[in-house]
Structure 1
């Protein structure tokens, strides 16, 4: 027998949702239909975060307890209005990734079992020059959201001293992400260097709280500022993205005032639509101004232009230190 389905009208598109009653989050009983309807309900905000960005998909066709498909390439067989953008990976290979141009694209992908949307930090018109600097404030064992929040406020203060506006959101876990719109004038290496410079300045100001140490054995109970999230083909969950965890948390945009006493557990697939209906997108101004990273690049040079390790799947990069954890390094 054919699969049951419903049809949802999303703007001027009709999206077919197959098996709408399939449970995707068994712990809280959220169905596939609720997932699709969630992305439609926050569509304006999610579209702002994803518009024209090559995007990877974390798909769970059988729900979060099933197998994950991390999809970087969109299939050739798809509606002609679902756009793609060509990206180049560190290996030199290319792929046609999803490029979100309308809310219906989100609904279409959610019907395919997409829970998380992970955009690149570039736009489809120029995939070699990022227009976003990302600060991933990542708690380590022994730390949590309270410490991540403190570090995020240090990031905010440094950015403000530079005349730069950062926008904070929960990661959907225990961390905080801060996004800065930047002028698309620098390549991935330069933007990553700017991220390293910013992370080092945070570490300098709150050394008891934050670290740039790539090797886990060196981090201790401190918040890791993952500068490598600015490298090519590294992605973070988008604003308003549901996370593939049992309680369906959301990577929720916040104002800095809200972050002061926010609890990330308050933002999930069932609470965020009502919040969005009441407040709208609290990051609505994120595209109003793009900033220069020249001051951060000057700081990178000031600090000796010393690079830090790349992730292990990257080719050896010019100027990169040894990619060997300290306890295993030999003289």
Structure 2
């Protein structure tokens, strides 16, 4: 296909207007230490679990991490995007020293922008195992939550070492992801109650 990066929508062809995943892209601003990115991933996971949602983790192959929530494809893109925006705004309001909900480099110096714009219709996210078109050619890698502590960066694996790393893996860290069915209905109510 003559490309380096592969990006996909959050829905499949058979149900193109109804996403089957929701993505939170943890994008660190200038001067944000890696430890804050790791802590941010844990905080996002904790909030999602409080809302009754399971989530999975992958490196971006760049500076940050992706927290991915599998969904039963029932709601349209607008509803999923609005919910993800409400989650991000809740994070920024609750922990303003770490999170910002507004994009732009000036807004996130020393903080993390949690990008929910990946959840809009037609928006895409770098796929798992995709190389990234940046210095070092980092690879977006699905990982277990238990690996988060050991990570050194969002580009820990590169095209030079990813294949060797994968050859020693015996289990799919996302095995349960493919079997998980969950909707946002109850989570929406819980978030509204927490925000109200």
User: Is contact 2:30–2:108 with CA below 8 Å preserved after alignment?
Assistant: no
3-state SS of the aligned residue for 2:24?
A: strand
3-state SS of the aligned residue for 1:177?
A: strand
Aligned residue in 1 for 2:184: 293
User: Is contact 1:240–1:252 with CA below 8 Å preserved after alignment?
Assistant: yes
Higher strand share: 1
In 2, Cα distance between equivalents of 1:301 and 1:126: 31
1:277 aligned to 2:167? yes
Deviations 1:213-240 (A, max 9, x none): 2454443421001121111111111111
In 2, Cα distance between equivalents of 1:250 and 1:220: 25
3-state SS of the aligned residue for 1:292?
A: coil
Higher helix share: 2
Q: TM-score, normalised by structure 1?
A: 0.54
Query: How many residue pairs are counted as aligned between the two chains?
Result: 193
CA shift for structure 1 position 248: 1.4
In 2, Cα distance between equivalents of 1:216 and 1:172: 19
Q: Where does the alignment leave 5 or more consecutive residues of structure 2 unmatched?
A: none
User: Is contact 1:166–1:179 with CA below 8 Å preserved after alignment?
Assistant: yes
Aligned residue in 2 for 1:189: 78
RMSD: 2.0
3-state SS of the aligned residue for 2:127?
A: coil
Shift >6 Å, 4+ stretches? none
Q: Where does the alignment leave 5 or more consecutive residues of structure 1 unmatched?
A: 1-108, 305-331
In 2, Cα distance between equivalents of 1:261 and 1:278: 17
Deviations 1:258-295 (A, max 9, x none): 11120234311122212222214322221111211123
Q: TM-score, normalised by structure 2?
A: 0.89
Aligned residue in 2 for 1:170: 59
In 2, Cα distance between equivalents of 1:257 and 1:301: 31
